Every structure is written in structure tokens, then in C-alpha cells.
Structure 1
Amino acid sequence: MPIARAAKRATVRLGAVVLAGALLAACGSGDSSDSSDSAGGKVTLNVDLFGSFGFKEAGLYEEYQKLNPDITIKQSDTQDEADYWKSLQTRLAGGGGLADVQGVEVGRIASVTQQQSDKFQDLKEFGADKLKGEFAEAKWSAATTEDGKILGLGTDVGPEAMCYRTDLFKQAGLPTDREELAKKWATWDGYLELGKQYKEKAPAKSAWLDSVGSLYGIMIGQEKERYYDASGELIYEKNPAVKEAWDTSVAAAEAGLSAKLDQWTPQWNQAFAAGSFATIPCPAWMLGYVKGQAGDAGKGKWDIAKLPGGAGNWGGSYLSIPRAAKHKEEAYQLIEWLTAPEQQAKVFQKQGNFPSSTGAIETIAGAKDDYFSGAPIGQIFGDAAKESPVQVLGVHDQNVMQQITNALSEVERKGTSSDKAWQTAKKGVDNVLG
């Protein structure tokens, strides 16, 4: 999920998590203080996540507990990844209240490997190094430190597409065929132009997209370099890709194409069922989120098409074990099982979270989703995953992302000028990075 996702998995994993992002107010505190084991040698494993990883929804916890009767799994979750990460940092600093398993969004993994390797368990001590060939190289290497410590196992990646409401498109006189739409919005300019056409005949109280923050997030996910270069230098101010994503997002706001709904808020959640927006850039992990918010009434009203501007990635997450975890060996056995190809394939079938396991990717290649009008999600997201750039991840990627999307929110909500909002974003980045 996660995103953030404005950059999460996204929050959700993004991103996303992002895939989100995220992904809203906290659903759980993440406090594992009640993790005392029951009598008879049974072990309670506390799993603290953000957004929707899909394990519970796909029945994996129940399955694992049947296979391991002495294990009980308790999950706590925070929907907003930024809130989750802030809480996790507080608990890491204090050394208490940590779960046996902690989720880490891809935008944070560089912080873990470069700045907090002493806070997380080296999974190589449990034999994780034998799994290297089962994961995409970029996914594996991002969670590995320079001296070879393995600090997380990958759950999913966030290949991107465009989710849209076919019923709203019909009401506005727009085509609904996913192949035709992919041609019409092959570029982001084409996407905005189609949005202007939608606005002219749109149903009452329905905008073209949810927020310009989500537009920015999905566009920046199409770039190899975003906020840092490969040497670790902060480059967001001079990166033309950041400027292009910013300018396009500002143009969407100024054209009145946005519903002005910050992602992961209660209002945004309600908008899925209300038809408050016709399109939403969606990494694979967001499919389960859409289903959860739009409900049964949304089945068959949504479809998925190829993303404008080429392939990209938003979000994706890891499962890590804090050094202070109570049951590290049992926790490792759980996360190895949860991230195995068979389980990743099950999560994709249920929630749409796209696998980071190469074996699982092959398994789900032909998958379709009836909720999204029979869209060939295995092919759409599989192609996007193959074509997505291997992104350079920086220590404060997620923090930079958050400040930029916060500033874009001012543009769409308050009419703040692009130049003034950009200065606000820069000031925010400077404050966060110190």
C-alpha cells in the first residue's frame, strides 16, 4: 500500500504508498504494550502497519494461525502513513511500544538503511539472504545496507494506472473504452484536455480528479530521479521532472479540474461512493482501497486504463523487525511466509497489491477484476511494472514529497499563486530537513 502517498501507499503502497498516502486519522495506535503471551507456550505476534497491506483481507493471518496453532496475530494499523511514521520514530527513539513486525513504506526505506540500521534486525541472521533471487533486484537492494544487512522483506510494488468511473464518463458524453482512453490521454496534456471536456458536461458535484496532490504524486512516480540523485545529493529544486509535475498539477488546479479532496481524509473516503470525482491515478495497491470505500454499489462502475505519460511506480512496502521486538524469530517466520510468492499472489487477487516476488508476478499475469469491469489487471499493472524506472530513493524522499503536496493543496484550495506556493514548499523542506 501503501502512500502516500501525496506519496504513500501510499500511502498507499504507496506509494504506494503508496502505495496511502496512506493512506485520515489513525485507526490504531500501533502500541504493542498488550503483547503478553498467553499460557501454554503460545506466542502473540503484533503486526503494526499503515494503509491496507491486504493480509487480513486476503485471509492470510487466519491461514497462518491454522498452520501454526501456537501463534496468534494481532494487527494494528494507521491509515495515514505520515502519522504512522511519526509514531514509529517516537517509539524507536524510546525503545518501547514497538510491534514484532513494522511496515516500512518504500519512501522511508533509505532512512532505515542509511540512518536507522541499528534500530532494525538484520534478517540475514535468520537466513533471509537465501531469498534474494525471489524478489525484483530493485526491491531487494533498496532494503539492503552498504555492509550487507537485510532490513526488510518486500511486500508489493506500486505500478501505476488510471482508475475511472464509466458511469460518470457516459453522463458527460466521454468514451469509456479503456483502449480508446489510453490513446486520448497518452500524454498528461491529453489527460487535462479530456478533463476540461468532462467539466463542461459533468454530473453535478463531480470533478475530473480527486486532488492535484495525487496527480503530482503519480507523475513524479514516473521518474528515475526525483528529489535525490544517485550520489545522495538533494536535487528537487533543479530537477526538471519535479518542475513539470508541479506545473501540470498547478494547471489542473487553475482549470478547476480538482475536487480539492486531500487523500486519506474522511471526506475523500466518502467521495468514492458519492461520485465526487471521475478519475483517480491509482497504483495497484489502491484497487483494494477503492473497493472498500466505494462498496458493492461501485462494482462494474469502475474501470482501469493505461496511465498517461508512460509507466511509473508509486509506493510499495516492506516488513521489518525492530531490534527491540519481543519475538524476532517467530516474527521472521511470519514475514517470510507473508512475502512468499503464493501469499503475494493471494493478496493481489483480493486487494490488487502488485507483487514484488518474481514468482508471484508470473502467477497473476492473466488476472482480471470483475469489480473494475473485468479489467485485465495482471496485464495492465504487469506491463507497468516492467516498464517502470528503477527509482533513486533518498533519505527524506517522503518528507520532501509531503511538503510539495501540502503546498499544492494551497494552490487548489486557496488559489495561492504557483510561485508563492513553491516558496512555501521550499521553506517546508528546509524546516523538515533542518
Structure 2
Amino acid sequence: MRTRYVRGRVRALSALCTALLVGSVLAGCGSDGGSGSGDGKVTLNVGLFGTFGFEEAGLYSEYQQTHPGVRIVQHDTEKEEDYWRTVQTRLAGGGGIDDIQGIEVGRIADVVRNQADKWVDLNSLGLAGGNAEYLPWKSKAATTADGKVLGAGTDIGPMAICYRSDLFRAAGLPTDREELARRWSTWEGYVELGRQFQANAPKKTHYLDSVTGLYNAIIGQQQESYYDAAGKPIYDTNPTVKHAWDLAAQAADGKLSAALQQFQSDWNQAFSADGFASLSCPAWMIGYIKTQAGDAGKGKWDVAAGPGGTGNWGGSYLAVPKGGKHHREAAELVAWLTAPEQQAKMFRKQGNFPSKTGAIESVKATMDPYFNNAPIGAIFSTAAERMPVQVTGVRHNDIKDNITTALTSVEAQGVKPDDAWKRARDAVRNALAS
């Protein structure tokens, strides 16, 4: 769920390495004397989680055509938490670290504050010229107090609502995206529309996929959620967190949700089986829906501005671990993958929204035929422009995971919301103490 980056000095680096390729297969660009692949090529191992989309969009193939001395091998892990656990083991000396590692936005604060000695400062490898091209909060989050840049931003996750216009119509609801945006201008309005949908819904169809998706979308609009600006955990005292919990619990109590766990097989199947009619939809979800719903979903799905008209869910970074073998070659690939041209291409092909301002400007007019020619460029650009600078702490993802696990128990097991909330707070306290 991610993508984009760097011109000036990167072009110089690219030209230098290309020239060196002719004579010495990047011998002068190598960082640690790491060996090649045995056939004169440098193999760059890229470790990612979920679906970044680089391979699917053909970017690796394109890069290898213009860099014949480089072979790219991607290693994927579906679940981010499993991936990050493995990365931590390898950073601690377990071996097997990749030349490039993806970092989810919820982990970047931990990397910057606690792991700076494990990652290469990208400024030292010629990427400093691209920092100013980012949305300010995107680059700032990956920068240490003394100015080291430890990650190059890929995508961001501006929010909207994706919905099935045919199922809305069957339930007697409007299908026009502008009218819907007015009806659900608040999250309370979104839930109320869900009650109306559920009263007349087609058999076995629910209004939304998961109340954890609803919860995460509300949290994704807040400047402060689990931490305050001083780095103090506030998950159990912040009224916006409790409000998001209560509203999601109301949706569970009203049986508005299909009670699916996102990114599990039954959730994937529900996209093409009329399992649910709407979901909170960061930009990267566009490509995911196309994959899961397939050709049969074309024209049935649509996109409208979401409650509040903003929000961010997801977005990642690419980083170069010090334990990798090919720092400079890795940095050159990172720079190219995250350049504005590639960021714009990723959005048009995969739905991953740019984090660089030039790329954002270039995709504002994008419309998507799969989603009834929805103006996805304008919808997601507006959401990104309205987004406040978010505060994330070092254990942001751990807090989120424990809270959403408890919320799932309300949805799937009928646990009382107050009891589940207490369990969530206890679980977070235990996690932070470990």
C-alpha cells in the first residue's frame, strides 16, 4: 500500500552509475564490496510487505532495461506485523537483511528515534535534492533531529469512500457521488446512511466490510491520536480515540458490517460476492479493489469524497539498511522508484497516491473508467491537501493493533463495547511495557 521521488542530484548519480556500468558493472558505485550475482550483475534484494505495486506496474522491468547491470529481486510478506518482526531480527544481527526495506508509516517514528544507527542516511548517498519535493510532513517524519534522512517516501493514503452503486440502488439509496458526499459529510452521517441501507439491503449484503476499517479511517483524520506532540501516549485519554471506538461499536451493534477481517481470504472474496457495499478507501485501495473484484466489478464500484473530506491511512517509505551489501545501487533504485514520474505512473496504474507535490499536481485530472469515471485524482488530491500534520509515536502500530483486535471482538464475538475497551487499554499497557 504505497509509492514515489528525486531529480537533481539523483540524475547525476544515475548518469555516473550508468557510465560505470559500461566499464565495471557498477564497481565504482558499490558500497561495501558486496559481490554480484555471478553473471556480472548486481542483485538488489527488495524487502516489502503487502502490495507496494512496483512489480505490478512494470517499474522493475523498466529500470532493469535501462540499468542492464542490475537485477531486482523482490521479497514479499503479506502481513506487515510479520514482516516488521523479521526485519527487527535481521537488524539485530540475524542476517538476511535486504538491500532495500519498506517501512510502514506507523513504524517510521521508531526508526528515526531509536534505530538511526541501523539505517543509511540517504543524504549521504545523493538523495538530499529530492527532500524538498515532498509534502512537508512526509519528509519530516523520516528525518532525525540532526538532519539524517532515513527513508524516502513512497505513497500516502488520502481517504475517500468506495461504494457499490448497484447495491446502493437496490437498497433505495442515492448513487450520485456528490449527493452521497453531502449525506455522509460526517461519520455519524455515514453510519446513519448505513442504517438506512441495512433496512432494505439485498440478502446477505452488508453496508460496510469491517468496523475496524471505519475506526482506522476516523483515526486517520486526527492530528493527534495515540501520542501527543511531546511523545506521550494519550490513547486512553484522547476523546477522539474513544469517539472513533464508540461510533465503530455502534456500527457493529447495528449489524452494519459484514464482520470481515481485512486482507484475509474471506474479505478478498467478498469484493466479488456482493458481501459489502462500501468501505473506507485510501487511495491504494483502488488497485486492491480492481484485483479482487476483477472485470465483473467494473462500473459497479464508484468513489466519493469521504466524511470530513480528508484523512490519511497508510503510506510507506523505502530505506537502505546499513547491513545491506549495495548501498549506492540501492539508493539509486530508491531514488528512481520514488521520483515524481514514477509516483504519477504508480497512481495511474495502481492507485498508490503520490507524496511529492509535482506528482500530485500531475495526477489531479485523473479519472478512472473502472469506477464509473470517478475523478479520483481530484478527490484524493483534495483529501491530501486538507490533511493535518499527524503525530505518530514509536509504538503507534502496536497501539493500533491491540485496539483494533479488541474492536474485532465486539464485531465478531458480541463482546460488550465497554468490556472490550477495557481489554484494549490493558493490552496496550502490557505491549508498551514490554
Q: How far is 1:219 from its partner? A: 0.4
Match of 1:425 in 2: 424
> Percentage identity across aligned positions?
58
Structure 1: gaps of 5 or more residues: 3-34
Residue type matched to 1:401 in 2?
Answer: K
For 2:202 and 2:330, the matched residues in 1 are separated by 50
Q: How far is 1:83 from its partner? A: 1.6
For 1:95 and 1:36, the matched residues in 2 are separated by 20
1:99 touches 1:325 (CA, 8 Å); kept in 2? yes
Q: How far is 1:38 from its partner? A: 2.5
| 1:96-175 matches, cutoff 5 A | 96-175=95-174
| 1:171-320 matches, cutoff 5 A | 171-320=170-319
Match of 2:332 in 1: 333
SS at match of 1:274: coil
For 1:50 and 1:291, the matched residues in 2 are separated by 19
TM-score, length of structure 1 as denominator length: 0.91
Match of 2:49 in 1: 50
Match of 1:356 in 2: 355
Q: How far is 1:137 from its partner? A: 0.9
Match of 1:321 in 2: 320
Q: How far is 1:430 from its partner? A: 1.4
For 2:309 and 2:362, the matched residues in 1 are separated by 24
Residue type matched to 1:422 in 2?
Answer: W
Residue type matched to 1:202 in 2?
Answer: A
Q: How far is 1:39 from its partner? A: 2.8
SS at match of 1:164: strand
For 1:336 and 1:235, the matched residues in 2 are separated by 36
Q: How far is 1:148 from its partner? A: 1.1
Q: How far is 1:418 from its partner? A: 1.2
| CA shift digits 1:258-280 (9 cap, x unpaired) | 10001111111111111101001
SS at match of 2:330: helix
For 1:252 and 1:39, the matched residues in 2 are separated by 57
Q: How far is 1:40 from its partner? A: 4.2
Match of 2:397 in 1: 398
SS at match of 1:159: strand
SS at match of 1:309: helix
Q: How far is 1:37 from its partner? A: 3.1
| CA shift digits 1:317-375 (9 cap, x unpaired) | 00001110011110000000000000000000011111001110111110001111100
For 1:365 and 1:56, the matched residues in 2 are separated by 24
Structure 2: gaps of 5 or more residues: 3-33
Q: How far is 1:173 from its partner? A: 1.3
Once superposed, which parts of structure 1, at least 4 consecutive aligned residues long, lie more than 3 Å away?
A: none
1:95 touches 1:324 (CA, 8 Å); kept in 2? no
SS at match of 2:271: helix
Q: How far is 1:309 from its partner? A: 2.9
SS at match of 1:405: helix
2:162 touches 2:278 (CA, 8 Å); kept in 1? yes
For 1:76 and 1:206, the matched residues in 2 are separated by 36
Residue type matched to 2:423 in 1?
Answer: T
Q: How far is 1:79 from its partner? A: 2.0
Residue type matched to 1:128 in 2?
Answer: L
Work out which of the two has the higher radius of gyration on C-alpha atoms and give 1 or 2: 2
Match of 1:24 in 2: none
For 1:104 and 1:354, the matched residues in 2 are separated by 16
Match of 1:385 in 2: 384
SS at match of 2:321: coil
Residue type matched to 1:147 in 2?
Answer: D
1:54 touches 1:347 (CA, 8 Å); kept in 2? yes
SS at match of 2:119: coil
Match of 2:59 in 1: 60
Q: How far is 1:95 from its partner? A: 4.1
For 2:418 and 2:246, the matched residues in 1 are separated by 10
2:160 touches 2:309 (CA, 8 Å); kept in 1? no
1:163 touches 1:279 (CA, 8 Å); kept in 2? yes
For 2:240 and 2:89, the matched residues in 1 are separated by 33
SS at match of 1:198: helix
Residue type matched to 2:326 in 1?
Answer: H
SS at match of 2:430: helix
For 2:81 and 2:112, the matched residues in 1 are separated by 19
Residue type matched to 1:109 in 2?
Answer: I
For 2:131 and 2:86, the matched residues in 1 are separated by 30
Q: How far is 1:396 from its partner? A: 0.7
2:49 touches 2:102 (CA, 8 Å); kept in 1? yes
Match of 2:13 in 1: none
Residue type matched to 2:240 in 1?
Answer: A
For 2:275 and 2:93, the matched residues in 1 are separated by 43
For 1:86 and 1:205, the matched residues in 2 are separated by 37
Match of 2:28 in 1: none
For 1:340 and 1:372, the matched residues in 2 are separated by 27
Higher helix share: 2
Aligned residues: 402
SS at match of 1:371: helix
For 1:171 and 1:431, the matched residues in 2 are separated by 46
Residue type matched to 2:424 in 1?
Answer: A
Bigger relative contact order, structure 1 or 2 (CA pairs below 8 A, ≥6 apart): 2
Q: How far is 1:109 from its partner? A: 0.2
Q: How far is 1:36 from its partner? A: 6.8
TM-score, length of structure 2 as denominator length: 0.91
2:120 touches 2:319 (CA, 8 Å); kept in 1? yes
Residue type matched to 1:383 in 2?
Answer: T
Q: How far is 1:227 from its partner? A: 0.5
| CA shift digits 1:132-162 (9 cap, x unpaired) | 2111110001000111111010001110000
For 2:116 and 2:40, the matched residues in 1 are separated by 31
